[in-house]
Amino acid sequence: MDVSPRDLPLAAELPPTLVEELTLLLGERFTQSPGVCAHHGHDESHFPDRPPQAVAFVESREEIAALLRACSAHRVPVIPFGAGSSLEGHVLAVHGGIALDCTRMDRILEIEPADMLAVVQPGVTRKQLNNALRGTGLFFPIDPGADASIGGMTATRASGTNAVRYGTMRENVLALEVVLADGRILRTGTRAKKSSAGYDLTRLFVGSEGTLGVFSEVTVRLHPLPEEMAAAVVRFPSMQAAVETVIRTIQSGVPVGRVEFLDEVSIHAINRYSKTDLAEAPTLFFEFHGSPSALEEQVALVQELAREHGAEDFAWASRPEDRSRLWEARHQAYFACINLRPGCRGITTDSCVPISKLAEAVLRARAAIDASGLIAPILGHVGDGNFHTVILIDPEDEAELARAEALSAELVAIAQSLGGTCSGEHGVGMGKREFVAREAGDVGVALMRSIKAALDPKGILNPGKLVP
């Protein structure tokens, strides 16, 4: 690589010739407005804001290609930007450069019910896609909570509450159109459900966080809407009892639609923020999908397992509006937790472990949090072994920040020692590169750097992210 992404200098200003070229290309859609730049230098992470030096609002693959060719010629960084909802600093311009805003590329290009797929531009959001699918009997199941863009979800290999049944973006992206750093346009994958034709380039780009190319089209898998759904809230006497119920449920082969864990601190936060009245105890949120007879069987088995582990109640939310209210409260949990301490920011951990190690991981995480003296609710998509903590910090208190970062590193170490990973669904961004290096090993890191060098030899694509 000519220049390491970590070594790119922060230029005082953009080259005037580049500004002229991009202004000619995009007109008023290329801007250096301080307000617009500030918006594009902020996300939901705890990292300080880092605005770009300009923002480019692109509307086509051709514009992306022309912009990348120009920025490559001038060695100016480009940071792809979707909804800005990332939790690991993915969109922060740590080396300056231009934010490439894809929000205007928001067209659903094709819905093919017979093949159960949709082709969308990267700025389409998950809610927008599901609204367009009404009446087809299909839906797009990946649900990270925020109304993220499909491009951003693909870039971070996102998942969410439905992953236990429907998988992650890795399983649900069939094909991509990618603009490479030099402006070439690459198509990966096909519409077929499977292929053994060469390297799996689609999977290479899913989760690449804008470091290898910029998405201009995404082909996603759709799923049949469940015939019937039922949701329940189950309260437990202890965190261990709740988590062991999840382990038994998954090991028993029950095809639950969703299963979420929230500790008593999370429930307290949700009650304050969403005006709910849930009992403040370790709690599981279940959702069951299927035919009426299948639902009856699933529910009966889960109820039995929950009672064996001391479940104190099993409250149903059978009406659609009640289910929606329940899951909306869960989706707001991050902001609810932040609201526990006004003015704070959150360091969000994202551990994922084998399901057999889930109870040990969660209990060790709770012990580490208690020992730290910090406030850190535990919640997550425990059906696939993925759980989070939100470590609440005063961003102006350097000593507290250091304690929080030490706690975050300890929680990652716990997950990795149990055969797990530092990032189940939030990606790597700025915050987890050192942990990726530990997970991948020297050979893995060298290979990642080689791939980056081959596809982005000038290091302009989202520098300072993902690659250790």
pLDDT of residue 323: 85
In a domain, 74, yes or no: yes
By residue range, what is the domain housing residue 143? 108-224
Q: Are residues 270 and 257 in the same domain?
A: yes
Return the beta strands (E) in 117-156 as ranges. Answer: 117-120, 138-139
Give the count of domains, the chain: 4
Q: Are residues 218 and 287 in the same domain?
A: no
95: left (phi over 0), alpha (psi -120 to 50) or beta: alpha
Per-residue pLDDT of the chain (468 residues; tens, 9 = 90+): 333 334 444 556 899 999 999 999 999 999 999 999 999 999 888 888 999 999 999 999 999 999 999 999 999 999 999 988 888 999 999 999 999 999 999 999 999 999 999 999 999 999 999 999 999 999 999 998 788 999 999 999 999 889 999 999 999 999 999 999 999 999 999 999 889 999 999 999 999 999 999 999 999 999 999 998 989 999 999 999 999 999 999 999 988 999 999 999 999 999 999 999 999 999 999 999 988 888 888 989 999 999 999 998 888 887 888 888 888 888 889 999 999 998 889 999 999 999 999 999 999 999 999 999 999 999 999 999 999 999 999 988 999 999 999 999 999 999 999 999 999 999 999 989 999 999 999 999 999 999 999 999 999 999 999 999
Q: Are residues 404 and 353 in the same domain?
A: yes
pLDDT of residue 13: 86
pLDDT of residue 12: 60
Identify whether the C-beta of residue 399 lies closer than 8 Å to the C-beta of residue 406: no
In a domain, 342, yes or no: yes
In a domain, 112, yes or no: yes
Q: Are residues 175 and 116 in the same domain?
A: yes
In a domain, 238, yes or no: yes
pTM confidence score: 0.92
Q: Are residues 82 and 121 in the same domain?
A: no
**Cα–Cα distance list, 371 to 318, 376, 388, 395 (Å):** 40, 11, 18, 21
Distance between first and last Cα of the chain: 14
Domain boundary among 224, 245, 262: 224
Q: Other C-beta atoms within 10 Å of 37: how many? A: 18
In a domain, 148, yes or no: yes
By CB atoms closer than 10 A (0-12, 13-18, 19+), residue 17 is exposed
Domain boundary among 312, 335, 358: 335
Q: How many residues does the chain have?
A: 468
**Which contiguous run of DSSP H or E holds residue 221?**
strand 214-221
DSSP secondary structure code for residue 111 in this structure: E
Identify whether the C-beta of residue 59 lies closer than 8 Å to the C-beta of residue 178: no
Q: Are residues 33 and 123 in the same domain?
A: no
Query: For residue 191, what is the domain's CATH number?
Result: 3.30.465.10
In a domain, 296, yes or no: yes
Query: For residue 33, what is the domain's CATH number?
Result: 3.30.43.10
In a domain, 463, yes or no: no
Q: Are residues 12 and 94 in the same domain?
A: yes
Identify whether the C-beta of residue 78 lies closer than 8 Å to the C-beta of residue 71: yes
Query: For residue 385, what is the domain's CATH number?
Result: 3.30.70.2740
In a domain, 444, yes or no: no
Q: Are residues 245 and 198 in the same domain?
A: no
pLDDT of residue 2: 36
Q: Are residues 148 and 214 in the same domain?
A: yes
